[in-house]
Amino acid sequence: MRDRPSGAELLAIARETLLGELLPHAPDAQRYNALMVAAAMAIAAREAEAGDGALVAERESLTALYGEVRNADEPLDAALGRLNRRFAADLRAGAFDAPDARQAAAWRLLRQATMAKLMECNPKYLEDEG
């Protein structure tokens, strides 16, 4: 069992300290860098809090798209790397250009991955766009 605060909570506390106490005293030349660090900390905290759920869902969608059986011994990031390289190559080759069930599945997968990425990297965009 981990101690409290969690890693995500520690990142949030550090980010609040950076923005609230350090940034106001930072030289103008360093303000942009401090804001970049704060943004990176927020992304890392959201990733830690979200866990691997979105990545697992993406792997499952890709294995279903290709009719594969998931290899339990293949690490998640290795499977995603392999499947996404295949998916990207197929997209470039026009494998999903015909308006059929495979194209619809590819569009759903792209939307799902984009939404998951935005939830971690830029959730404000989703709020602003509704």
**pLDDT, position 130:** 65
Q: Rounded to two decimals, what is the model's pTM? A: 0.77
Residues 63 and 41 in one domain: no
**pLDDT, position 5:** 86
**pLDDT, position 77:** 94
60: left (phi over 0), alpha (psi -120 to 50) or beta: alpha
Residue 1 lies in a domain: no
Residues of the chain predicted below pLDDT 50: none
Residues 74 and 95 in one domain: yes
Residues 66 and 111 in one domain: yes
**pLDDT, position 9:** 87
Which residue range(s) make up the domain with 111?
A: 53-129
Residue 2 lies in a domain: no
**pLDDT, position 89:** 98
Residues 61 and 120 in one domain: yes
Quote the number of domains for the chain: 2
